Amino acid sequence: MRDSHRPEEAGAGSPRSLGRRVLLAPVTVTPSKPLTPSHLKGLLWTDVMYRATAQLADVTYRYSPTTYHLTEQTLGFWEYLDRTFGDTDYSGLSEERIGEMYVGYRHEERRAGAAALRPYAEAVEQQGWVHPASARVLELWAGHYRQLGMHDPGLLAHQPPGLGLEEVLDRLGALGMCLDQRAHGSPVYLDATRHGLPLRQIVDAQGRPNYLACALRELLPLAPEFDETVLLYDRELEPDYLLLERTLSAFGATVRRVPLGRVPIDGRIRSARHGDWHDHTARALLGKAAAEYDDAVLRLGMRLYFIAVLGPGQQQSFGHDVLRQSLTRAARLLSGGRVTDPAPLPEVMARHRGAHLYVNPYRLTSSLLAKHRPAPAHRLLSAVYL
């Protein structure tokens, strides 16, 4: 039996046969809390984009938690855990319980200094070490990926970035895009003022990189090698991703930005760092759906809801009833007659992209819900949604 997670081969004469290459680089989620509806939305959009675009081009899905462990947000959480809870066994804890610890960390007034975080950073860089709490969260997330039928890009793998921090700063400096003030006890700034963008700190005075610096370590050596680099990210990160696009473009990359709105809960958008997940975590949602629907219905229904129903914006609050309607619609689609679309899959996918290489998940998934159209071909569902 064919692996349903592996994209089918495109036919002769398709864009893939012409050697087009796409780098798919979504924003990573910090492994310190449960996955929420906003996280699920981004992950499912990325998964459908990856599997659909893979019918047209060779796609590299780059998602490396390793690269972003070095941010103060993550290292500070790890230091807080060791200082507050000591030698705790995290192997049996839920992601919700670890998330509660993270909320406690975010509410703590004191922050560890550079000296306290340095051993953690060195262990990550030199040994690929991951704190047991985050390792546990990633293990649980991998289970959600399997249940949802999502491609796992290496959640549990050690995937270090291709460049060191100093190498990145040297490359930026060669293009006049780096303002390094560390010799004067000040931070390092990414300088894209020539493009009308403000200075952005990427390394603090103690040498600690932020998320944007880590992204540059990962993407600067990769993006110029591809025909197209697609960045999917939280709309609230727009300023940083506009900077990232301009910087990668300066190094010869073709970049497409795909911002996604968060999912409001009861009309409010709140960061997961505040807690208040209640029955909205991935574990709760999947557990409830799995009690009533089989795997295929769960996988298709979740994608129908988080992609086609919620759309790219953030106007509609999460609704259990509407999610259930999407699951019911998925069951009907899967129980319909097996339709044979005479068009090859690459041709079907090509209908749902614009002047770019990647397939638009919203356009493709919305087409499944169009009225007065036959049920989608099972091979399409199998290749992209199940």
Provide the pLDDT for residue 375.
64
> Is the four-CA dihedral 282, 284, 287, 293 of positive or negative sign?
negative
Closest CA to 172 of 243, 69, 73: 243
Contact (CB, 8 A) for 310 and 41? yes
Neighbouring-strand partners of residue 22:
59, 228
Cα–Cα distance list, 100 to 33, 59, 274 (Å) = 8, 36, 9
What token pair was written down for 223? 């993006």
3-state secondary structure string, 130-177? CCHHHHHHHHHHHHHHHHHCCCCCCCCCCCCCCCCHHHHHHHHHHCCC
Closest CA to 111 of 78, 76, 83, 82: 76
**Cα 49 off chain centre by:** 12
Closest CA to 162 of 87, 221, 227: 221
Determine the Cα–Cα distance for residues 135 and 307; give it in Å rounded to an integer. 29
Ordered DSSP codes for 69-134: TTSHHHHHHHHHHHHHH-S---TT--HHHHHHHHHHHHH-S----HHHHHHHHHHHHHH----HHH
Contact (CB, 8 A) for 52 and 352? yes
Provide the pLDDT for residue 370.
78
* Helix or strand holding residue 215 (H, E): helix 211-219
Closest CA to 87 of 142, 30, 132, 32: 132
Q: How many other CB atoms are there within 10 angstroms of residue 224's CB atom? A: 15
DSSP state of 31: S
Per-residue pLDDT of the chain (386 residues; tens, 9 = 90+): 333 344 444 443 444 535 799 999 999 999 999 999 999 999 999 999 999 999 999 999 999 999 999 999 999 999 999 999 999 999 999 999 999 999 999 998 888 899 999 999 999 999 999 999 999 999 999 999 999 999 999 999 999 999 999 999 999 999 999 999 998 999 999 999 999 999 999 999 999 999 999 999 999 999 999 999 999 999 999 999 999 999 999 999 999 999 999 999 887 777 656 656 778 899 999 999 999 999 999 999 999 999 999 999 998 889 999 999 999 999 999 987 555 556 788 888 888 888 899 999 999 999 888 776 666 778 889 999 99
Q: Tokens 């700034």, residue?
A: 189
Provide the pLDDT for residue 369.
86
Closest CA to 65 of 202, 162, 161, 163: 161
Q: Tokens 């855990």, residue?
A: 81
Provide the pLDDT for residue 18.
55
Enumerate domains of the chain plus CATH numbers.
Answer: 15-334 (3.40.50.620)
Neighbouring-strand partners of residue 141:
none
* Helix or strand holding residue 178 (H, E): strand 178-180
